[in-house]
Amino acid sequence: MEEIIFPNQIRMYRRLRGRSMQELADHLNVSLSAISKIEKGYRRVDQEQLVRVAEFLDCPLQDLFVNEQNSQEEIVQAWRREQERRNKINEKTGLKTLGAGLRQIRNDKNLTLIEVAESADMTLSVYHRIEMGQREVSDKELKNIAKALQMPLDDLKKEIKNLDEKGMLEEIIQRNDAKYKLLSNPRGAIASFGSSVQDGSKIPVYGVAGKNGNVIVDFDEEIKKVFRPLPLSNKKDVYAVPLCTRRLGSLLPSRSILYVNPQEVVSVGDIALYYISEKEAMIVSVREDDQGMLYGFRWNPEEKIDLSNNDLQKVHKVVFISL
Task: State pLDDT tens for residues 141-166.
Answer: 899 999 999 999 999 999 988 888 88
pLDDT of 82? 58
Report in angstroms the alpha-carbon separations of 126 from 13, 130, 306.
28, 6, 30
> Is 180 in contact with 96 (CB distance < 8 Å)?
no
pLDDT of 91? 56
Listed by start position, the domains of the chain span 87-183, 195-322
Report in angstroms the alpha-carbon separations of 102 from 136, 160, 174, 199.
13, 7, 15, 26
pTM: 0.46
pLDDT tier for residue 87 given thresholds of 50, 70 and 90: low
Can you tell me whether residue 286 is helix, strand or coil? Answer: strand
> Is 58 in contact with 27 (CB distance < 8 Å)?
no
Secondary-structure class of domain 195-322 per CATH: mainly beta
**Is there a common fold for 87-183 and 195-322?**
no
Per-residue pLDDT reduced to its tens digit, 21-75:
999 999 998 888 888 888 877 677 776 788 888 888 888 776 777 654 545 566 5
Per-residue pLDDT, averaged over 240-258, amounts to: 82
pLDDT of 4? 45
Kindly tell me the burial class for residue 25, based on how many C-beta atoms sit within 10 Å of its own C-beta (0-12, 13-18, 19 or more): middle
As a whole number of Å, the end-to-end CA separation of the chain is: 19
The letter for the amino acid at 255 is: R
- Percent of the chain clearing pLDDT 90 (strictly above): 21
- Residue 93 backbone dihedrals phi, psi, to 5 degrees: -90, 0
Q: How far apart are CA 279 and CA 283, in angstroms?
A: 13
pLDDT tier for residue 307 given thresholds of 50, 70 and 90: confident
Secondary-structure class of domain 87-183 per CATH: mainly alpha
Closest among 24, 104, 7 to 63, alpha carbons compared = 7
The lowest-confidence range among 2-11, 192-201, 275-284 is 192-201
Per-residue pLDDT, averaged over 283-295, amounts to: 84
